[in-house]
Structure 1
Amino acid sequence: MNVMLFHSTHGLRPAVHAAADRLRAAGHEVWTPDLFDGRTFEDVEEGMEFKERIGKEDLLRRAVLAAAPYAERHLVYAGFSLGASVAQTLALGDDKARGLLLLHGTSDLAPNASVDDLPVQLHIAEPDPFETEDWLGAWYLQMRRAGADVEIHRYAGAGHLYTDPDLPDYDREAAEATWRVALGFLASLEEDQPAR
């Protein structure tokens, strides 16, 4: 599969490169755009402040420009936290998207969002301070109404960004389970999905 993998508010950190390498080792082609111009942040608040300075519209513009050269390759959009919300927005706007892999985050949907059975897999902590139960329930219903085929995988007791080994949220068991399931998801897209 061709995977466009977006980073979190921490920026394009080693964990994102390691995730991309893991996917490449399974035979996937992966791109990791840097939406933060080389800036990385240990502290999530600093990353959030930087994101706010860029602004939502400019952040999405950067993501669209990064993905556009590969759009004809029927991309799987993927991302971590903030990057997941970016990936979701792009996937819902790309009628050639093959799938959507969300790690640690979601986004609101445009009222007119519509897809044709887009396969979506979400991996998220339980509980997650940024993705409340009420929000996830509403998000799931909206995604289903939009036409997405959604799976949600929860990881009890894990921190928000539990796949990043350099952050306090890291949970090795949850991270390994996530990657095992996510790789299966990508393999299923390769086997079962016709070109859109």
Structure 2
Amino acid sequence: MAEIVLLHSALGLRRGVEVAAGILRDAGHIIHTPDYYDGEVFDELDAGLRKRDAVTYPELFRRWKEIGEGVVRPVVFAGFSLGALGAQFLAATHPMARGAILCHSAVPVREVADGGWPAGVPIQVHYSEGDPFVEEKEIAELRADVGEGFERFVYPGDAHLFAHPDLPGYSADSAVLMWRRVLDFLGRVRE
């Protein structure tokens, strides 16, 4: 069993995040789904990105850090898209981090933390092959930053948030496979 902090995308704390939390909870994990978007939820990505820009990245990092300050036990940080950035930041900087699950986004470590990736903190990355928000060169750089313990899974299609059943790009086959891989990862994470 793992404790997991699951961060939402730029669309806010939508039903898809709750579905994901339910899958993880049903597998016996403890899940936290904090809202760092002031309760706002969006149906259109452009609106969600306007909210992101209005909040600003420095403020988002402050909010993510505040979420991390509430963590006192070993934890896996996970996130969707913008939330993956927050999860990656927390996994790279929080002393209780035991892993990171990044869905639909990942960046080189230098974009979230100084000093490199922490030893012994595995990372799993999931995205579709044509995702317009994922850059292969950044994934390659992250792989080099992390070294052993890095896993990458690429799924067919070009949908950004393919694992969210409440969005048009949802792929049931890819989502089922992704969650199987996530649960396998969580089974290997040390406490």
TM-score, length-scaled by structure 2? 0.93
2:125 maps to 1:122: yes
Q: CA deviation at 1:165?
A: 1.1
Q: Deviations over 1:50-108 (max 9, x none)?
A: 101101111111122123122x2111000000000110011100132111011111133
Q: CA deviation at 1:134?
A: 2.3
Indicate conservation of the 8 Å contact 2:117/2:145, yes or no.
no
Indicate conservation of the 8 Å contact 1:122/1:153, yes or no.
yes
2:70: which partner in 1? 69
TM-score, length-scaled by structure 1? 0.90
2:92: which partner in 1? 92
Aligned positions of 1:150-165 closer than 5 A: 150-165=150-165
Structure 2 counterpart SS, 1:167: coil
1:143 aligned residue (143, 146, 161):
146
Q: CA deviation at 1:158?
A: 4.6
1:82: which partner in 2? 82
2:103: which partner in 1? 103
Instruction: Return the letter of the residue paired with 2:26.
Output: A
Mark the runs of 5 or more structure 2 residues left unpaired by the alignment. Answer: none
Paired-residue identity, %: 35
Indicate conservation of the 8 Å contact 1:158/1:170, yes or no.
no
Change in Cα spacing, 1:122 to 1:165, as seen in structure 2 (3 Å) is same
Question: Matched residues in 1 for 2:87 and 2:66: separation?
Answer: 13
Structure 1 counterpart SS, 2:68: helix
Structure 2 counterpart SS, 1:116: coil
Structure 2 counterpart SS, 1:98: strand
Indicate conservation of the 8 Å contact 1:75/1:98, yes or no.
yes
Q: CA RMSD in A?
A: 1.4
Which deviates further from its counterpart, 58-67 or 160-169? 58-67
Q: CA deviation at 1:127?
A: 2.0
Structure 2 counterpart SS, 1:130: coil
Indicate conservation of the 8 Å contact 1:158/1:171, yes or no.
no
Change in Cα spacing, 1:9 to 1:48, as seen in structure 2 (3 Å) is same
Question: Matched residues in 2 for 1:86 and 1:162: separation?
Answer: 19
Indicate conservation of the 8 Å contact 2:68/2:94, yes or no.
no
Question: Matched residues in 1 for 2:160 and 2:175: separation?
Answer: 11
Q: CA deviation at 1:135?
A: 2.5
Instruction: Return the letter of the residue paired with 1:36.
Output: Y
Equivalent residue pairs, number: 187
Mark the runs of 5 or more structure 1 residues left unpaired by the alignment. Answer: none
